[in-house]
C-alpha cells in the first residue's frame, strides 16, 4: 500500500532519495536531466513535494508548483519508479496532488515528458485534456547544415555582457514570449541567477542589435553528461527570442546559426532543442538545419 507524505522542503536524506528515483526514471524514460550531485532540476524547486512510500522505500514522487506558470496555472510533475509502475501508484499520487492543487476557478496542468501511453490513460481518467505538445529535436553536431549567419541590414551580432545586457534581454524576452507559459515570465533576477550556474557561458549567448537597440538573442546551453549517457556533454539551443517588430526578417535563423556554429566549435557530439508543436515555421527552420524530432513532451490541463 502506498503512503503519501507532503513536504514543503526536502532535507538532505529525502533529496537523495528523490534523486535516486529520478535517476532511475531517466534511465528508462530519458527524462529528467539529473546529475548525481548538486541541486535537483529547476522544475522541482520550490512548491510542495509529495513523496509516496511503500514501507521505507520511496516509489513515487510528485511536485506541485504552487506559484504556477506565467498565467498562474499550478503545474504538476509526477514520477513513479520504473520497477513499481502499472500498480495504481500514479493514480493514487495524482488524486492526492489534485486535492491540494484545486483552487476555485483555477486550472491545473500536468506534464508527461515522454508522452507515455500510460500517462495519457491516467490523464483521461483524472479528467485532464491534452493541450500542449513540446517537441524535442536533436542532431549530431557534425550533421548540422550551417551557412554563414546573414542578419538583416544594419544588424550586428555580439555576445552577452553580464552586468550590462540583462534588462534589455528580459524586455525582448517578455515581448517575444508573451504567450509562453514558462519563458515569458523570466525576470532580471532569474537571468542573474542563471549567470551563477556552472553551465552559464556568456560566449555562447548571442545578441542581435541595430543602432544599440536589442532585437533578439540566442542563448545556448551545454548539459553535462548524464550517468547513463555518452561521456561527453550535449549542446542545446536553449532560447531563441526575437522581438515581434523584427520577426519575419530572417533574424531568428541568423541567430540560430550563430549559436549552432559556436556549439559545434566546442566539439560537442550532439545538439538538442525544444520547440512548441504548434510552431510549424520554427520546426521547418530546424529541420532545414538538420534536426529531427526525437520525442514529444505533453502537457495536460484540468
Does 182 count as an annotated binding residue?
Answer: yes
Does 251 count as an annotated binding residue?
Answer: yes
Does 262 count as an annotated binding residue?
Answer: no
Does 253 count as an annotated binding residue?
Answer: yes
Does 241 count as an annotated binding residue?
Answer: yes
Does 247 count as an annotated binding residue?
Answer: yes
Does 288 count as an annotated binding residue?
Answer: no
Does 46 count as an annotated binding residue?
Answer: no
User: Is the preceding omega at residue 32 within 30 degrees of 0, hence cis?
Assistant: yes
Residue with cell 508522452: 115
Does 240 count as an annotated binding residue?
Answer: yes
| Of the candidates 252, 244, 278, the residue with the CA atom closest to the CA atom of residue 174 | 244
Does 79 count as an annotated binding residue?
Answer: yes
Residue 4: phi and psi, rounded to 5, are -85, 140
Does 30 count as an annotated binding residue?
Answer: no
**Distance from C-alpha of 125 to C-alpha of 243, rounded to nearest angstrom:** 41
CB atoms inside a 10 Å sphere around CB 90 = 24
**Distance from C-alpha of 195 to C-alpha of 92, rounded to nearest angstrom:** 39
Does 97 count as an annotated binding residue?
Answer: no
Does 221 count as an annotated binding residue?
Answer: yes
| Of the candidates 23, 88, 26, the residue with the CA atom closest to the CA atom of residue 52 | 88
Contacts of 290 (CB under 8 A, 6+ apart): 139, 143, 144, 145
Does 34 count as an annotated binding residue?
Answer: no
Binding region for acetyl-CoA:
78-80, 240-242, 247-253
Binding site, annotated residues? 78-80, 182, 221, 236, 240-242, 247-253, 274
Amino acid at each position: 500500500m502506498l503512503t503519501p507524505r507532503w513536504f514543503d522542503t526536502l532535507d538532505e536524506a529525502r533529496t537523495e532519495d528523490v534523486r535516486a528515483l529520478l535517476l532511475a526514471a531517466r534511465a528508462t524514460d530519458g527524462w529528467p536531466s539529473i546529475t548525481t550531485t548538486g541541486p535537483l532540476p529547476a522544475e522541482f524547486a520550490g512548491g510542495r513535494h509529495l513523496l509516496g512510500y511503500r514501507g521505507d522505500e520511496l516509489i513515487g514522487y510528485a511536485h506541485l508548483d504552487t506559484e504556477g506558470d506565467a498565467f498562474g496555472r499550478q503545474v504538476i510533475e509526477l514520477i513513479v519508479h520504473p520497477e513499481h509502475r502499472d500498480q495504481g501508484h500514479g493514480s493514487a499520487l495524482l488524486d492526492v496532488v489534485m486535492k491540494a492543487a484545486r483552487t476555485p476557478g483555477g486550472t491545473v496542468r500536468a506534464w508527461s515528458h515522454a508522452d507515455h501511453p500510460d500517462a495519457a490513460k491516467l490523464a483521461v481518467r483524472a479528467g485532464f485534456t491534452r493541450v500542449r505538445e513540446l517537441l524535442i529535436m536533436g542532431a549530431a553536431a557534425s550533421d548540422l547544415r550551417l551557412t554563414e549567419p546573414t542578419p538583416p541590414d544594419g544588424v550586428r551580432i555580439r555576445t552577452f555582457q553580464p552586468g550590462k545586457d540583462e534588462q534589455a534581454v528580459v524586455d525582448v524576452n517578455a515581448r517575444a514570449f508573451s504567450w509562453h507559459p514558462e519563458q515569458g515570465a523570466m525576470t532580471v533576477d532569474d537571468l542573474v541567477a542563471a549567470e551563477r550556474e556552472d553551465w552559464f557561458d556568456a560566449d555562447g549567448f548571442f545578441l542581435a542589435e541595430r543602432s544599440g537597440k536589442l532585437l533578439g538573442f540566442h542563448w545556448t546551453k551545454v548539459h553535462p553528461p548524464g550517468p547513463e549517457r555518452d561521456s561527453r556533454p550535449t549542446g542545446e539551443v536553449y532560447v531563441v527570442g526575437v522581438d515581434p517588430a523584427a520577426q519575419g526578417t530572417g533574424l531568428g535563423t541568423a541567430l540560430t546559426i550563430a549559436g549552432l556554429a559556436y556549439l559545434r566549435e566546442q566539439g560537442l557530439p550532439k545538439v538538442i532543442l525544444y520547440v512548441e508543436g504548434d510552431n510549424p515555421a520554427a520546426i521547418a527552420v530546424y529541420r532545414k538545419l538538420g534536426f529531427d524530432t526525437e520525442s514529444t513532451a505533453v502537457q495536460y490541463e484540468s
